[in-house]
Amino acid sequence: MGARLARVFRNFNLENRVEQEITKQKPLPAPRHAVRAPPPAGSSGSDAVDTVNRRNDSLLGLLKSVYVDSTDPAAAEESKAAIASKDVERRPLKFSMPGNVPGLAEVTDVPKGSLTIVEALKALSSHQQQPQTCTPEKIAHDYSLGLKDAEAILEFFIPFHVHVLPAKTQKANQIKAS
């Protein structure tokens, strides 16, 4: 029932609307680009074509003397990185996660100058608990790190930041429920 009513309103005065759309002024198309006519056969344009098509032995000799050797710089860097990765000294893990953690079970050693997450957390927690004994120099020596790297880890790597809220007192301003 509703479809019939909708069709009536949709088709209302359809012929008049179509006629208005057909009689509208159509937009003018954009002008075409002007094309130059080819030069006549006896003019100077044919001299230019002859000059281009003629063989110049001196330029050909110069072209033959050019040697181009092309290499991919990304492939060269990858091969250098592969060679460098084989030469990196490695150290055994100091600490590992208890139990069988997926993705970490196969790691038995790390390159010198690198830490695993577990080792970083252990070093940070020992530094937070005993800052006098666990200094950046000791961390750098234990984990084969540079001194700047150890200091940067202690300064910028903050895994836990605990805020202790003071206990509520009677003197504290409280919002009263109204």
pLDDT digits (tens, 9 = 90+) for 21-40: 889 888 888 888 888 776 66
Q: Which is more confident, 150 or 68?
A: 150
Pick the closest to residue 140 from 148, 132, 150 (CA basis): 150
Question: Ramachandran region of residue 78, left (φ > 0), alpha (ψ -120 to 50) or beta?
Answer: alpha
104 pLDDT higher than 60: no
Residue labelled with tokens 């790597």:
157
Which of 2-6, 28-32, 172-176 tops mean pLDDT? 28-32
Split at pLDDT 50, 70, 90, the class of 151 is very high
Pick the closest to residue 124 from 85, 159, 172, 175 (CA basis): 159
56-78 pLDDT tens trace: 889 889 988 988 888 888 887 87
Range list of β-strands (E), 8-158:
90-92, 109-111
Pick the closest to residue 119 from 133, 140, 147, 146 (CA basis): 140
Dist. CA 157–CA 123, nearest whole Å: 11
112 pLDDT higher than 80: yes
Split at pLDDT 50, 70, 90, the class of 114 is confident
Contacts of 81 (CB under 8 A, 6+ apart): none
